[in-house]
């Protein structure tokens, strides 16, 4: 049994990771300030004696003894949330990474940084390989998140080189599934909730911009395989689904699967919104034997059922 700390553990991805780690027999400490996380996401774990929740902001140092692993997932991940308090967002990425890396130095824990495809910005190389340095606007409205994550990667590499910390860096591409916040502004949850409520489905721009969507279970499997891989394989490694869809294709698929009569409407594209996003996953295939198994139609079916139940008991 390992003693594992998960920051952002009450969030969308973090709650699924905590559940999987508990299922595998580990002791899990879930650290979250509940800015975007929710106690509802981890309610099913609260009675487990190997699970504990700590309300804590990782911009403030945290002390814990005897840790084996740290998964650093804490940071708002949707534009609505990370732009709400841009200074707080970049502090979470940068100061939070420093605090967790200091903790890894103290405890000797292996530590994983949940980075993002946003480090590639609005890419001019397609698909995006880990060797690509990206095309990021350092002074744009998205840069608090993009540059914060890029800086966190730098910190992880410097702590690895200078302090010999055992690190892993993943770059997560668009992910969806249960426990997503219905109002987080991300495209899958937006479209599904709008369709189920019979509201117009809102596309920003022409809808010809592309994204690659992976289901949460595939991501969690990739994260765990990476953490269990040889310590010399530190990444960064892309985890995402290389099947590319336009936003308009996604909207039409959601309408069909929900049987909705929602019209599709178009609004202006936000500033710095990437035109293309597609992971090159050869490294994950080669080193981890990993690739996504749940394709878009199947995964959308799962999240549609989740939001159907969610909307019965919540006001959105």
Alpha-carbon span 289 to 306, nearest angstrom: 29
From the CA atom positions of the chain, what is the Rg in Å? 19
Q: What is the DSSP code (8-state) at residue 65? A: S
Distance CA 305, CA 286 (A): 34
> What is the C-alpha separation between 247 and 258, in angstroms, rounded?
17
Q: By C-alpha distance, which of 101, 72, 75, 94 is closest to 152? A: 94
Tokens of 10: 């009450």
145 classed as catalytic:
yes
Q: What angle do CA 6, 8, 13 make, to 5 degrees?
A: 90
3-state SS of 71-105? EECCCCCCHHHHHHCHHHHHHHHHHHHHHHHHHHH
All residues at 6 or more sequence positions from 128 whose CB lies less than 8 Å from its CB, including other chains: 117, 120, 238, 277, 278, 279, 280
Closest CA to 282 of 250, 249, 238: 238
Return all residues near 96 (Cβ < 8 A) that are at least 6 apart.
7, 58, 59, 72, 74, 75, 152
Q: Which of 145, 215, 306, 310 is catalytic?
A: 145
Positions marked catalytic: 145
């Amino acid at each position: 049994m390992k003693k594992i700390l998960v920051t952002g553990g009450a969030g969308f991805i973090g709650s699924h990771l905590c559940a999987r780690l508990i299922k595998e027999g580990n002791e899990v400490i879930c650290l979250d300030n509940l800015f975007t996380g929710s106690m509802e996401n981890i309610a099913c774990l609260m009675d487990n004696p190997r699970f504990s929740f700590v309300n804590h902001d990782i911009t403030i140092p945290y002390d814990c003894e005897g840790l084996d692993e740290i998964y650093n997932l804490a940071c708002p991940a949707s534009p609505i949330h990370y732009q709400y308090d841009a200074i707080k967002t970049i502090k979470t990425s940068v100061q939070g990474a420093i605090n967790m890396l200091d903790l890894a130095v103290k405890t000797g824990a292996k530590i994983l940084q949940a980075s993002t495809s946003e480090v590639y910005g609005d890419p001019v190389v397609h698909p995006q390989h880990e060797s690509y340095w990206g095309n990021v606007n350092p002074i744009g409205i998205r840069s608090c998140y993009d540059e914060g994550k890029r800086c966190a990667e730098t910190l992880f590499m410097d702590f690895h080189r200078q302090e010999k910390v055992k690190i892993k860096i993943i770059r997560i591409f668009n992910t969806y599934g249960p426990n997503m916040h219905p109002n987080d502004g991300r495209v899958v949850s937006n479209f599904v909730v709008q369709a189920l409520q019979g509201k117009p489905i809102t596309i920003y721009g022409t809808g010809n911009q592309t994204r690659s969507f992976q289901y949460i279970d595939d991501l969690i499997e990739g994260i765990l395989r990476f953490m269990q891989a040889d310590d010399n394989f530190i990444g960064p490694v892309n985890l995402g689904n290389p099947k590319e869809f336009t936003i308009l294709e996604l909207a039409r698929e959601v309408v069909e699967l929900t049987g909705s009569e929602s019209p599709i409407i178009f609004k202006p594209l936000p500033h710095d919104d990437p035109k293309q996003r597609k992971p090159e996953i050869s490294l994950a295939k080669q080193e981890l034997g990993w690739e996504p198994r749940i394709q878009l139609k199947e995964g959308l079916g799962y999240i549609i059922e989740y939001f159907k139940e969610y909307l019965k008991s919540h006001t959105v």
